[in-house]
Structure 1
């Protein structure tokens, strides 16, 4: 059993949990994920690690309510326990394998869409601790849904915001900000984009034109998290990959995004039915 040490609401239907999981915290690296199961009847939920503290033995995860299981999890409180918290799983971000000398002169641009700011946070934190330059773009529908902005700024990054309604930052898309930054003379060795698949698709199309290496995370299509169910199959560079075992991060210029979108929608109708037939769908 894994105890919830802390619970915070980041936005409507978006919750951050800090879990006591010393063994996971000891081995966790940016880009990896955990599998969470609330109880014996609960479904396996893959969640990207948002932060970890090896000294305290804690791991932070962010849960967005998108179905019956995440809704049930969001109702848990500080002091409650989770049955399973398995990890860290998946491959760490590519830059973790680079030494400080290789990293010190690189410049990264992180692009987060919505709750994508959560998996971006540990990556930025890791790089900033090594003194690596990072700019961060966060996009959301409105200012109320912008998460972790202040936390990322505390790491010493410039943070740029775009919202659909213009309530914070510029009114527009994250790609508008990518274009703006490059046109202003900013140069980047790599772009890391995490968020809705459509967002990552258009960011990758733009960065391909700009000739900037781009990494994306396909964590949102994972189901089982072990490669056994095959639900997260994706074509990358003409080859079949499994997001949970080969990823979750891939070369953004090689991903077949149309296939990913179709696969992501496979279980949508089932989730809608479950939400309509459970009293747990009214979370807050």
Structure 2
């Protein structure tokens, strides 16, 4: 059963039951957030890893140290990624069913960026319990926000149809992802550059601010310096936060693993963002991009997710 399920009428939906949640490894949940999700679902959480291949040596996403990956990319190593097989998702679904789940929801990286969503949907056709797959059309901490919504909503007794609709609304309306790569080389090499392809020939003269529009990499702004790009990211964050008309949270994303290892411009932006969040009353945290996403945006990139606070 996929996300194209029939909507029930008010009052017809079954009780929430025991929900199981599947994410892929590009979804960002901080340690405290992962604990919240696992507790809300009584441990019924599975994460299916993608794979990062560096100089033909494969490692599951999450096992390669961020600093090691960045160093390899800067040294010119061959780096590419691969998606999970449908059987990887099938095993996750079976484990959740064995753990007592009577309904499963899987939320994946944008289907326009990876075949991960298609693999999850293929496996869902033979899942032991009804399984809904949601194409997030985004990535990283934006997906993490949807995971929190689903888990804590299930713990509060909300039914699966209502929860899936709420998660899809959250992903479409209540979160946005921006990023500024140090170079477009890695996005171009991985074929993930989407609508921003026209920028490639001018990469030496501009610094782009990119976003995910309908799940596809798109250009949000084109400026001349990294500082201006970061200013544009902050301006976009303010605009989006105002549109939420409620509490929001910003998540700064760095590929290096530690903010102290990021470029000076990123550290300056981090300080400005933290100050702005404090002034505006936003929640704020810093997270690490998964190795799979780093393989595509490259070292020195900076990402920013703005999302309604869960």
TM-score by length of structure 1 reads 0.33
Compare relative contact order (CA 8 Å, sep 6+) and give the higher one, 1 or 2: 2
Larger strand proportion of the pair: 1
Larger helix proportion of the pair: 2
